[in-house]
Amino acid sequence: MEVTFSALFFGSRALMAKVCQSLEQPAVPTNSYFSMHSIQTIKVTGPDAFEFLQAQLTNDLRRLESEAEILAAWCSPKGRVIWFGTVFPIDNGYGLSAPADTADAIVQRMTMFRFRSKVEFGILDAGQTVDPAHLIERGHPYIGSSQVEQFTPHMLNLDLLDALSMDKGCYPGQEIVARTHYKGATKRRAIRFASDAPVCAGDKVSLDGRDVGEVLNVSDRNLLAVVPVDLADAGLSVGDIMLSHAPLRNLEPDPK
């Protein structure tokens, strides 16, 4: 079942309704390489569900008092993104969107931080799928299993996607995220490109033979790559494949 994409990213409780392809990619792209991909719902329930997630996620769950869903991330203590998706209320707790290849690992890792909190974790597979092209068109990153803890929230534009709260209080990696935000030290961001030929997520992006970034997500010849902002129009390539900057409206700040 394909789920309709909403303005909040992965769809109204569709939870990443159109996510980019799995990172278990073939060496040579095939038709299945650009197929829809499965998503699952992580359920966090119990009397302490709010307090637990409020202390773990980058966004303020109090927004859900007036909003149907919000975007958020879960970071490591070093400020690297473990998970990114939609959060929304369910009976006795909250649902979090997750790519199917990361849901189990996220639950296992969250359980380690439960301590005495009265929360329970579960995974719901409703057969939902996601379209990589739709996310790339909107600059929404997909963090698959091979990309966990590889990027900071600002590299993924999560500040521009309204997935970060700067005044909600502490969460893992909060000091690093806040320092980057207030110092304006974001030199690398997820930027959209079109390629002359298909490339793969994880491929290195180069300039004059020097690696300067990495392909984040791909759909056909459209892609997001994390690169220095000031090099977006410098003639980047993946091997011999040239990349053309395709700016994301209202999502790419001017280089500083």
User: What does the pLDDT look like over 64-96, one tens digit per residue?
Assistant: 999 999 999 999 999 999 999 999 999 999 999
Asked, for residue 141, whether it belongs to a domain, the answer is yes
Per-residue pLDDT for 52 more than 90?
yes
Domain count, the chain: 1
Q: Mean pLDDT lowest for which of 31-35, 122-126, 147-151, 224-228? A: 31-35
Give Cβ neighbours of residue 66 (< 8 Å, ≥ 6 apart).
none
In a domain? residue 107: yes
State residue 13's pLDDT score.
40
Specify if 241 maps to a domain: no
134-180 pLDDT, tens digit per residue, is: 999 989 999 999 999 999 999 999 999 999 999 999 999 999 999 99
- Quote the domain boundaries for residue 139: 1-149
Position 221 in a domain = no
What single DSSP character describes residue 230?
Answer: G
More confident residue, 175 or 4: 175
pLDDT digits (tens, 9 = 90+) for 179-233: 998 887 789 999 999 999 999 999 999 999 999 999 999 999 999 999 999 999 9
Q: How many CB atoms lie within 10 A of CB 225?
A: 28
How many Å separate Cα 121 from the centre of its chain?
A: 21
Using DSSP's 3-state secondary structure scheme, residue 193 falls into strand
Residue 162 lies in a domain: no
pLDDT at 208: 96
CATH of the domain at 23: 3.30.70.1400
pLDDT at residue number 23: 31
pLDDT at 1: 35
- Banded pLDDT at 18 (limits 50, 70, 90): very low
Q: Do the Cβ atoms of 237 and 205 come closer than 8 Å?
A: yes
Q: Residue 3: inside a domain, yes or no?
A: yes
Judge whether residue 9 has pLDDT over 90.
no
Where do we find the tokens 């994301």?
248
In a domain, 83, yes or no: yes
Structural domain contains residue 181: no
